[in-house]
Amino acid sequence: MTTFNQIDPRKAPGIDGLPGSFFKEHWQTLGEDVLKMCHEILNNTNNVFSLNETLLVMIPKVENPCDMTNYRPISLCRFVYKMVSKVLANRLKEVIPLCISLNQSAFVPGRMIHGNVLVAHELMHHLLNSRNGSSKGCVVKLDMSKAYDRVEWGFLENVLLKFGFFNEWVNKIMCCVRTVRYRVKCNTQLTNTIILERGLRQGDPLSPYLFLFCMEVFSRMLTDAQKNLRIRGIHRLNLDKSMVCFGQKTAISKRTMMNRWLNMKVVDSLDGYLGLPIPIGNKRLNAFKNMVNCITKRINSWSKRFLSYGGKEIFIKSVLQAIPAYGGLGFRDLRLFNVALLGRQVWRLLTYKDTLCYKVLSSKYFPNGDVFHPIKVNRPSFTWQSISKAASTLYEGFGWCVGNGRNIDLWKDHWGFEGLSGSAIRLDRNMVHEKRVSDLLNANQDDWKEHRILELFGDSLKDQICKIPIIHDGQVDHRIWFHNSCGFFSSKSAYSWLILKQIGFGPHRFFWRIIWKLKILPKIRIFGWRLGHDILPTYDKIANFRSELNSFCPRCGNDKETLIHALKDCPKARAVLEYGGFNNRLLEGVFVNCIDWVEKVARVLDKIAISNFLTVLWNIWNSKNYRIFQGAEMEAKVIWEKASALSHEFRIYNLMEVPMIPKSRMVANWKKPVFGVYKINIDASIKDKDVSFGLVARDCDGFVLGGRMGLWHKNMDVLWEEMTALKESINFACTNNWDKVQIETDCASLVNRFKKRKEDVTNLGYCLRALFEQTNQFVSFDLIWALRSYNSVADQLCKLARDNCCNKEFNMDYPLEIHNSILKDAIK
């Protein structure tokens, strides 16, 4: 099912015409048969031949194709075949980093193709700009003609066998490759079946990884050619796209000789690499001129379109800024967003030190291994200048995660959490003999010196520092990003942090945080944004610029038309709100700014009701404009019904059907596990620096098999005490030799962090990975989240442990205090 969810259901269907969305929609009917067929093929009891008929379509690569080389053949495979192929590809991905050399980055887990782009930029920068010493040489850019189509099957099979894969595994792979049959679709017509003898399909999930192995052979031949001066392996070069670029001091005679040998066009600089300009140099405008021209062309095509604010927003975000939006209207500060994107390269230089990109850049710019403290270099490349500037801008957001504390400078480094560094120490430096964070640990290196920390940092920081967990089983100090709970860097969190640094939180944070999450029409969201900034054109505002205009409300004439009057205080607006059921509690009070009133109302509504509320305000505003420009007044009932209809059209509930005040959740009951599975409910709590935990294990009939409760006197973070309860439950299951275990907790954060344990670089992630390794001894293991009402027994055990200050383990003789809750769960 993991593979099923990984395949995009919207992809074009194969020759059977059934896309992934069809299988997803009818999985209850088809799922069992589809999984059975996949298992039979993967277990060699069936053949993939019946699924391997492929539809071939030609996608033009240029605007006006006039030759077959101007088309890219794309294979449309059956969805069920893609599931089989994806399973094999997922297994192959696990070992690819061990097989493929560092100079290949595409499709290799843990590597990014951008690394090769940076290496290419550095190479071209050195070749074209080095003035000191010899810069003789050339760079040859090769383009293999129809590389996928020319892969020999026999060669691919021998390569896989040479890498040490078992014959049975290689046969499965080659069966997917060799049994393919094509039918070409041309103008709705299908050709006869075509059977090939070589080539890989573009569209098969396996193809990119198999091609990597072929390119690995070529890569190793290039390496060997440095010694033996021989290069082989390319069927045919595309001389129209291949080119050669020479260094500044390469002699004319050598240029002529190389040109005669290679028979390629000679260029002053390469036109691009992986779709990006190279090199960039000082003429940055010329390097990105094509991008600017493309955007200008698109903007000019909109000039004759009459679009609303919402329509313009959609066009800008979907066409000009085709990058996922991160809050607000989605219009990013491009300079800050660029820094956030460059931060990903900084993060990779901090964490992936075995890559080719790191070795190239570190050898030249930061041989000490610290990207935040590079050495000065004459004429650095444009790419390094950009990365270095981003590193200095984001420096305060990075810090050290404490392992043993020996690598963290107490005075210079940021560590533990944001804002904690030498500047937070209250004592004079001459009075502090500690130099490393490890000096703040006790003799056993398993806890903090609380008294000394109190002297250095004061009471305000002492509790926070003592909550930083200490891992004393080999975990070393390492860098993390403070603004992500899992510690890894993301452009989204970096951009949000940079924006907050620039503009701060500001007033009405609740309003701005909620409005961007509402599922409403874009034009209504923009209306809310304009309302929040008080930039809607009321008569009072217009009168400031046109003195001849009356500033009084055109509908009631009783008061000046400010925004709060137009949407709340005007009798016409109030009639609409009262018709919709707004009580006096939501309408009472005197407000100067409209956003103050809207925020007050929003605090007592759920998200759907807030969406509907803004829709009503938008209709009230439009009805006022209709009165001004059309001279007709709409009744309150009509305005309300229009708002309700608009809500329906946008697939949200009718205002009259959804309560303005959300109902409380219904109390849920504990569910019994299936036969053969042991279910353990866990809970933990903190009170006055005392951590208590409780766990209870039950079978499929709801009978208690045992449990534990305990109390620790330790300063601990909430997630850590939940993780400790999880650790106790796993140890309890191991002690009882249970093979099928399901653990249930009401801490959603723990479940989410456990699922993200591979990418979690904090100490908590380290411990969760260790716990997962421990669960490998079980036949099946699952950690699930439940409502607090599911977890009443474990919660009561926590309170018992805290109230009685006890550590106790029990079997079927559980404490009497939890009997009623256990009986209630078992009955229901």
Given 493, 527, 556, which residue is the final one in a domain?
Answer: 493
Is 256 among the domain residues? Answer: no
The amino acid that residue 388 corresponds to is S
Q: Of the spans 306-310, 490-494, 610-614, which averages the highest pLDDT?
A: 490-494
Q: State whether 743 and 786 are in the same domain.
A: yes
More confident residue, 39 or 650: 39
Segment 289-309 shows an average pLDDT of: 65
> Does residue 471 lie in a domain region?
yes
Q: Which of 142, 14, 3 is nearest to 75 (CA)?
A: 14
**Structural domain of 601:** 509-649
pLDDT in tens, 494-547: 998 998 887 766 678 888 888 878 888 888 888 998 898 889 999 988 988 887
pLDDT of 313 reads: 67
Q: How confident is the model at residue 493 (pLDDT cuts 50, 70, 90)?
A: very high
The distance of Cα 815 from the centroid of its chain, to the nearest Å, equals 45
**Statement to judge: residues 427 and 483 lie in one domain:** yes
Two structure tokens written together for 152: 């020999």
Q: Specify the range with the lowest mean pLDDT, choosing from 208-222, 272-286, 756-770.
A: 272-286
Residue 124 forms part of a structural domain: no
pLDDT single digits (tens) 589-609: 888 889 999 998 888 888 888
CA–CA separation, 121 and 129 (whole Å): 12
At 371 the pLDDT is 93
**Using CA of residue 756, residue 759, residue 762, residue 763, what is the dihedral sign?**
positive
- CA distances, 625 to each of 444, 536, 618, 622, 677 (Å): 74, 12, 11, 5, 65
Q: Are residues 640 and 697 in the same domain?
A: no
**pLDDT tops 60 at residue 327:** no
Q: Are residues 569 and 687 in the same domain?
A: no
Looking at 199, 225, 251, the residue that finishes a domain is 225
Same domain, 613 and 547: yes
Whole-angstrom distance, CA of residue 710 vs CA of residue 719? 17
Backbone angles phi and psi of 314, in degrees to 5: -60, -45
SS3 158: helix
Phi, psi angles (nearest 5°) of residue 408:
-105, 120
Inside any domain, residue 157: yes
**Of 4, 420, 439, residue with least CA distance to 205:** 4
Query: Max alpha carbon distance in the chain (Å)?
Result: 97
3-state secondary structure 283-311: CHHHHCHHHHHHHHHHHHCCCCCCCCHHH
- Burial letters 534-563, b for 16+ CB under 10 A, else e: eeeebbbeebeeeeeeebbbebeeeeebbb
Q: Cα torsion for 158, 159, 164, 168, to the nearest 10°?
A: -50
Indicate whether 565 and 692 sit together in one domain.
no
440 — alpha (psi -120 to 50), left (phi > 0) or beta?
alpha
Half-sphere exposure of 310 (CA within 13 A, CB side): 9
Distance CA 580, CA 656 (A): 7
Residue 89 lies in a domain: yes
Asked whether residue 685 falls in the same domain as residue 546, the answer is no
Q: What is the mean pLDDT of residues 696-718?
A: 89
pTM over cut 0.85: no
Q: How far is CA 784 from CA 314, 692, 742, 758, in A?
A: 38, 21, 8, 18
Residue 508 CA to residue 500 CA, distance in Å, equals: 14
Using an 8 Å Cβ cutoff, are 139 and 127 in contact? yes
Residues 189 and 40 in one domain: yes
Residue type, 660: M
The tokens for 707 are 């449990």
The answer to whether residue 308 sits within a structural domain is no
Amino acid residing at 487:
G
- 721 and 796 together in one domain: yes
CA 608-611-616 angle, 5° bins: 125
CATH number reported for the structural domain that contains residue 800 in this entry: 3.30.420.10
Q: Is the pLDDT of residue 26 over 90?
A: no
Q: Is residue 282 part of a domain?
A: no
Cβ–Cβ under 8 Å, residues 762 and 488: no
Q: Where do we find the tokens 């344990």?
A: 757
Residues 413, 464 within the same domain = yes
pLDDT of 773 > 70? The answer is: yes
Task: Enter the DSSP assignment of 237.
Answer: B
Q: What per-residue confidence (pLDDT) applies to 266?
A: 73
Task: Please report how many Cα atoms fall inside a 13 Å half-sphere around the Cα of residue 386, on the Cβ side.
Answer: 21
**Band of pLDDT at residue 805, cut at 50, 70 and 90:** confident
Structure tokens at 102: 């560092």
- Number of other residues whose CB lies within 10 A of the CB of residue 359: 13
pLDDT, tens digit, 9 for 90 and up, residues 651-662 = 444 333 443 333
137 band by pLDDT with thresholds 50, 70 and 90: low
Judge whether residue 323 has pLDDT over 50.
Answer: no
Whether 304 is covered by a domain: the verdict is no
The runs of H, that is alpha helices, within 352-426 are 356-364, 382-394
Q: What six digits make up the tokens of 358?
A: 């790191």
| pLDDT for res 623 | 92
Residue 522, preceding bond cis, omega within 30 degrees?
A: no
What is the Cα–Cα distance from 825 to 828, expressed in whole angstroms? Answer: 5
Q: Are 768 and 754 in contact (CB under 8 A)?
A: yes
User: Per mean pLDDT, which of 134-138, 580-584, 683-687, 706-710 is the most reliable?
Assistant: 706-710
Contact 550, 539 (CB under 8 A): yes
Tell whether the model's pLDDT for residue 386 goes beyond 80.
yes
d(Cα 134, Cα 249) in Å, to the nearest integer? 7
Q: What's the domain count of the chain?
A: 4
Write out the H or E segment, with its range, that includes residue 480: strand 478-481
Residue 231 reports pLDDT greater than 80 = no
pLDDT tens digits, one per residue of 388-411: 999 999 999 999 998 888 889 998
What mean pLDDT, rounded, does the chain reach?
83
pLDDT at 343 over 90: yes
Q: Are residues 357 and 468 in the same domain?
A: yes
Has residue 239 got a pLDDT over 50? yes
Based on the domain organization, do 362 and 484 belong to the same domain?
A: yes
Which pLDDT does position 660 carry in this prediction? 36
Give the model's confidence band at 385: pLDDT under 50 very low, under 70 low, under 90 confident, else very high: very high
In the listed set 209, 225, 241, which residue is the last one of a domain according to the structure?
A: 225
